[in-house]
Amino acid sequence: MSREEARSRTPGSFGRTLALGAVAATSLPLVLCVFQRLGASGAPRESELGLGLYWVVAAACSLAATAAPRRVRAVVPFSAFVLGLMVLSLSPGLAALAVALTFVVSVARSGFLLRQPPGRALVHEAVCGAASLGLAWALYQPTVFGAALSLWGWFLVQSCFYLLVEVFPRRPRPGQGDAFEVARARLLELLGPG
């Protein structure tokens, strides 16, 4: 991703992801209330399942909020949603689900949506993943408010990923630049002096 691409994508992606986190956190109590009214007995496992399902949907929506090319904008979030459902069905608890979803979001975002170089992507995603999980863990309480605050904290740090991309954009390699300029230089070289 060039510096211009990073500038054009990051402010919108940062703002959309931050707004989505605020909406997800504020609507969580309502969604859990509806989930309990629709038939969940209110037992801890059903409440945890509802919260986990909500977290999977929110994580997939965070990927959809990324300013990515159209051809991958729908496929990658849907694939992350399916992977999230699989993780949810196998997950022993919310902590394991949060770690797995952070990994899924990281791989989808840096591997398919923004296509960063592997080393840079690993550093960016490790910093954001560890910080978002740490903040979510620190804010989590076994109440609806605690869960909403934890989800908001996770989104807050995950949205900062786009600021890291802006601060540390990929530098073009020597001899690599704008495709038009490279083609023009090659054409001029072929035409020779004159």
pLDDT digits (tens, 9 = 90+) for 78-105: 888 898 899 888 878 888 888 999 999 8
Q: Kindly report the pTM of this predicted structure.
A: 0.71
Per-residue model confidence (pLDDT) at position 130 = 94
5 residue type, one letter: E
Higher pLDDT, 177 or 105: 105
In the structure encoding, which two tokens stand for residue 140, read together? 């989590």
Mean pLDDT of 106-135: 85
The answer on pLDDT for 62 being more than 60 is: yes
Q: Which pairs with CB-CB distance under 8 Å and at least 24 residues apart come from 98-107?
A: 98/55, 98/133, 98/136, 98/137, 98/154, 99/133, 101/55, 101/56, 101/59, 102/129, 102/132, 102/133, 102/154, 102/158, 103/129, 104/59, 104/80, 105/59, 105/62, 105/63, 105/80, 105/158
2 pLDDT tier (thresholds 50, 70, 90): very low
Q: What is the DSSP letter of 8?
A: H
Per-residue model confidence (pLDDT) at position 134 = 93
User: What average pLDDT is seen over the chain?
Assistant: 77
167 pLDDT tier (thresholds 50, 70, 90): very low
77 pLDDT tier (thresholds 50, 70, 90): confident
